[in-house]
Amino acid sequence: MIPETAMKIGQRFVVRKIEFEILAVEAGRIRYAEVKGGRIRHMAFAKFKELRDRNIAELIGEKLNENDLERPSKLTEVEMTEMNRRLSYVRPITKAMVARSHEYVEPLIINLAKERKEDPPGTSTVLRWIRKYILANENPLSLAPRFRDRGNRSLRFDPRVEGIMSDRIARDYLNSQRLSVARVSSHIVGHLMEEFGDNDLPPVDLTFPSERTVQRRVAEIDLYKRDRARFGPHAANRRHKAAGAQRLVTRVLEVTEADGTLLDVLIVDPDTGDVLGRPYCTAVIDVWFRAIIALVITFTPFSAPTLLMALKMACSQKCTQNMGGVMEIVVFDNGSDYGSDAVRNFCSRTGIQIETCAPRDPNGKPHIERFFKTLNHQLIHILKGTTFSNPKDRGDYLSNKYACVTMDILKSRVFEWLEMDYHVRLHRGFGRTPLHAWEESSKDHSPLVFPMDDLDIIARSVVLRSINRGRIQYENQHWYSHALAMLEQQLGSHGLPDKVKVFVDELNLDRVFVEDPRSHGNFIQADSTRPEYTRGLTLYEHRKVCQEIKDQGKADLEKLPPFAWEKARWELWKKIVEDGESYANKQIARLTDGKKKRLLDADEKIMKQTEDLPEPDDTLGDPPDDGKNEESVVETRENRYRRQKSDADPIDIVETSKNSAPEKRSFEVQRIIRDPNK
């Protein structure tokens, strides 16, 4: 059975042929990391013992031992010095063959101390050393002091004070607010006064811990645990992980690294002089001879389009001094942009193998990270308008005031620095200049280079779109081609899918390429319908423009009163209805020679007259259902109304006989007459 105290930092074990290293043992848990990779993990000590008992976890190297002082390798400098000092007294006295009593041993101790030019130790102390030395079979390690076991191991404060102190450290110190030890110490005193104080007077039976005591308690906490609680898991893992083993590379273009960064300089507009912002740089470096084989500077944040442009530049040797070619392996971050389908499609077509490293892990691609640091320190920080690496380095320097570098000037300065400085300077890690190493290696191993026009087609994002009248629509932009119009008709006649693959260069929307689904590898170029706008336009800038237009539209709507749009639509609808009714009345009047209007006017007068009729007597009740049909009831009421208002009929044609049918009257008059409530 393995005791917990026997597990020490640095102890290695193997699980399923994977080697791990123990980083800390605390509170029944083991923190360990993979030797090749460095990812930090945690495991309960009970689970580790179970794996050890089942022979799944196998310890490597030295045998575990509970007492470190039984091994010379565990002794400190102070412990070794003290052990040899004690041996200088013990060995001569044991060889003197004298009685081990104070009377005979004390003179020997005084003489030995004079030889060592130090104060003599106590006689009882030396006799105790001799006894331990003999019982250990004259093992000199038995005389090594146990300084680490000294000190008061018991609680120095009341258990209530210890509980509050531990609680406040866990709550106030081990969090992302990063309070100082002095602040936590004041919280502890305040908490104790609140719990046990009497009228703002400290309790007489409790001792308050000092700030130094709190500092010692904080120092006892595992450093990784402190950093994880105060700075987060990513920062803690990065701080407590080694750089790792170096990759073995034997030839040029075997392994390359790609990444992007934000340059520490402000760019201005060449026409107006206004500050545009800081540019982004995406670069590809060859690990073997440390040369930059691709470098792209844009205002577009590093993403799949910028990486595709850099890979296209590298595979066609279009960077500097004809360096570059098709690499075997490219290493970049495991991000959604870099690992997009467009990048994977380009690498699949060119035979490039992709390797990704963990995010926020500079050790996965150390060479490109070091190049960005060199670029900023040796060139960018000496340009006018630099922002430096941090506000402390910038000081009182006014970057906006002195900014005068345009994008074209920055690109020319960077490529000039690459050719005249970086590629002809000795590199400490490589020991040679990249330019001469490239020239020598390219003679033995000629790099593979693809045509630029072919790379320009495949180094694009791929989207599926339908052809509509010879045009392709994507992100509110259109591209046209007469060949697409013919292809559209042929796809419909042959029963092929109507959607085609469109290759879009997100850094230049001036043209796109459409792959013919009938003949793979045949691409049709489609030009923009707005060439003045899309020439040199990136998709990132286009989306910003669209968002600006959208925001302007929202701002215009906010200036209107509430429901103004709905009210306007309602008013428009009413006008449309009125115009329709007016037109219908004119048509009816034209067809009936005005008789329809006279009939409607007569019905309107009858309706007004019926409104003035007295209410019927409630005592009469409803007429009995004597079998009369509805027509007779209507006729009876109509005759009664005619007798009461016979002199008010405006038109003779309204007067009807007793036998006239109600269907001959207008619809409104029939509805009023038929309604029993009128």
pLDDT at residue 633, as a whole number: 46
For the segment(s) 4-70, the CATH number from 2.160.20, 2.30.30, 2.60.40, 3.30.360 is 2.30.30
Contact 376, 394 (CB under 8 A): no
Q: What is the C-alpha to C-alpha distance for residues 526 and 483, in angstroms, rounded to an integer? A: 9
Show the tokens assigned to 605.
């007068």
Nearest in space to 499 (alpha carbons), one of 462, 532, 526, 445:
462
Nearest in space to 281 (alpha carbons), one of 268, 290, 294:
294
- Say which CATH architecture domain 255-444 belongs to: 2-Layer Sandwich (3.30)
DSSP 142-184: GGS--GGG-S--S--S-HHHHHHHHHHIIIIISSTT---HHHH
Task: Give the list of residues 6+ apart from residue 92 with CB closer than 8 angstroms, or none.
Answer: 108, 112
Q: Flag whether the pTM goes above 0.85.
A: no
Q: For the chain, what percent of residues have pLDDT higher than 70?
A: 80
DSSP helix/strand/coil, 58: strand
pLDDT in tens, 263-317: 999 999 998 989 999 999 999 999 988 899 999 999 887 788 889 999 999 998 8
Contact 379, 414 (CB under 8 A): yes
Task: Give the list of residues 6+ apart from residue 322 with CB closer than 8 angstroms, or none.
Answer: none
DSSP helix/strand/coil, 270: coil
Give the pLDDT mean for 521-525: 88
pLDDT greater than 70 at residue 257? yes
pLDDT greater than 90 at residue 639? no
Reported for 87-91, long-range contacts at CB under 8 A and 24+ positions apart, including other chains, are: 87/140, 87/143, 88/112, 88/116, 89/121, 89/126, 89/129, 90/126, 90/129, 90/130, 90/133, 90/143
For 526, the enclosing helix (H) or strand (E) is strand 523-528
Q: Which of 240-254, 299-313, 524-538, 654-668 has the lowest mean pLDDT?
A: 654-668
Give the pLDDT mean for 349-359: 84
Show the tokens assigned to 67.
């007492």
pLDDT at residue 355, as a whole number: 87
Show the tokens assigned to 94.
């044991």
Q: What is the C-alpha to C-alpha distance for residues 461 and 303, in angstroms, rounded to an integer? A: 12
Reported for 204-210, long-range contacts at CB under 8 A and 24+ positions apart, including other chains, are: 205/158, 206/157, 206/158, 206/160, 206/161, 207/157, 207/158, 207/161, 208/161, 209/157, 209/161, 209/165, 209/185, 210/185
pLDDT band at 339 (very low <50, low <70, confident <90, very high): low
617-636 per-residue burial string, b: 16 or more CB within 10 A, e: under 16:
eeeeeeeeeeeeeeeeebbe
Please give the order of strands across the beta sheet that includes 511-515.
461-466, 499-504, 511-515, 523-528, 477-480, 471-474
Q: What are phi and psi of 24, to 5 degrees?
A: -165, 155
Alpha-carbon distances of 324 from 321, 349, 438, rounded to whole Å: 9, 18, 9
Nearest in space to 642 (alpha carbons), one of 660, 666, 621, 663:
660
Q: What is the mean pLDDT of the chain?
A: 80
The interaxial angle of helices 304-315 and 341-350, nearest 10 deg, is: 20
Nearest in space to 481 (alpha carbons), one of 472, 473, 489:
472
Alpha-carbon distances of 28 from 2, 44, 590, rounded to whole Å: 13, 6, 102
pLDDT at residue 174, as a whole number: 92
Instruction: Characterize the bridge pairing of strands 329-333 and 255-262.
Output: parallel
The better pLDDT of the pair 108, 615 is held by: 108
The better pLDDT of the pair 633, 317 is held by: 317
pLDDT in tens, 558-593: 887 888 877 888 888 888 888 877 777 777 676 666
DSSP helix/strand/coil, 354: strand
DSSP helix/strand/coil, 355: strand
pLDDT at residue 628, as a whole number: 46
Whether the CA torsion 344, 347, 348, 353 is positive or negative: it is: negative
Beta-carbon count within 10 A of 454 CB: 15
pLDDT in tens, 44-103: 888 888 888 888 888 876 544 445 545 777 778 888 888 899 999 998 888 887 777 788
Vertex 619: Cα angle to 618 and 625 (nearest 5) = 90
For the segment(s) 159-239, the CATH number from 1.10.390, 1.20.120, 1.10.340, 1.10.10 is 1.10.10
pLDDT in tens, 110-163: 988 998 889 999 999 989 898 888 888 888 888 888 766 666 656 677 888 888
* Dmax (CA) of the chain: 163
Give the pLDDT mean for 596-608: 69
pLDDT in tens, 426-478: 887 778 898 888 888 877 778 888 888 888 888 888 889 999 989 999 998 99
pLDDT at residue 473, as a whole number: 93
User: Domain coordinates of the chain in residue numbers?
Assistant: 4-70, 76-143, 159-239, 255-444, 460-546, 594-674
pLDDT greater than 70 at residue 664? no
Vertex 403: Cα angle to 402 and 407 (nearest 5) = 160
